[in-house]
């Protein structure tokens, strides 16, 4: 009976020691990994648009983004902006750079803006450039 009790105590102590050793090993691994990455980057799942263009009629102020073609061009990279409301078109793919933004819509004169900067904001994001395109009928 005494032998069985000692044997069980040894097994319990052995399990506790192994669990502690595993926890220490995992902790050391995490610390070593953090030290290897001098500045670990943690990005959120939030996507900020690179360019937002508010497209309106120059006289009435009515939103004209739906039905308009809005493009952003930077050194061969071309992004067609998506329309999410009557007056706003956004670029979710714009990367840092200097863009030429063009807006065209049937019945209106074309609109364009050169040298629109989209700059890096942190490690994972860009700072949004917001423009207002007032189209002339």
When pLDDT is cut at 50, 70 and 90, the band that residue 28 belongs to is: low
For 110-125, write each residue's pLDDT tens digit. 999 999 999 988 777 8
pLDDT score of 17: 46
CA atoms within 13 Å, Cβ hemisphere of 64: 26
pTM above 0.85, yes or no: no
User: Where residue 37 falls among pLDDT bands split at 50, 70, 90?
Assistant: low
Confidence of residue 18 (pLDDT cuts 50, 70, 90): very low
Whole-Å CA distances, 106 to 45, 85, 88, 117: 37, 18, 17, 27
Q: Confidence class of residue 100 from pLDDT cuts 50, 70 and 90? A: very high
């Amino acid at each position: 009976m005494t032998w069985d009790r000692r044997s069980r105590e040894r097994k319990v102590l052995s399990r506790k020691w192994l669990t502690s050793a595993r926890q220490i090993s995992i902790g050391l691994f995490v610390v070593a990994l953090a030290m290897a990455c001098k500045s670990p980057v943690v990005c959120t799942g939030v996507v900020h648009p690179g360019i937002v263009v508010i497209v309106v009629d120059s006289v009435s102020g009515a939103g004209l983004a739906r039905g308009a073609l809005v493009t952003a061009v930077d050194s061969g990279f071309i992004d067609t902006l998506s329309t999410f409301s009557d007056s706003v078109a956004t670029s979710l793919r714009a990367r840092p750079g200097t863009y030429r933004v063009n807006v065209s819509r049937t019945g209106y004169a074309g609109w364009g803006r050169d040298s629109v900067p989209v700059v890096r904001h942190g490690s994972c994001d860009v700072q949004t450039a917001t423009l207002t395109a007032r189209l002339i009928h």
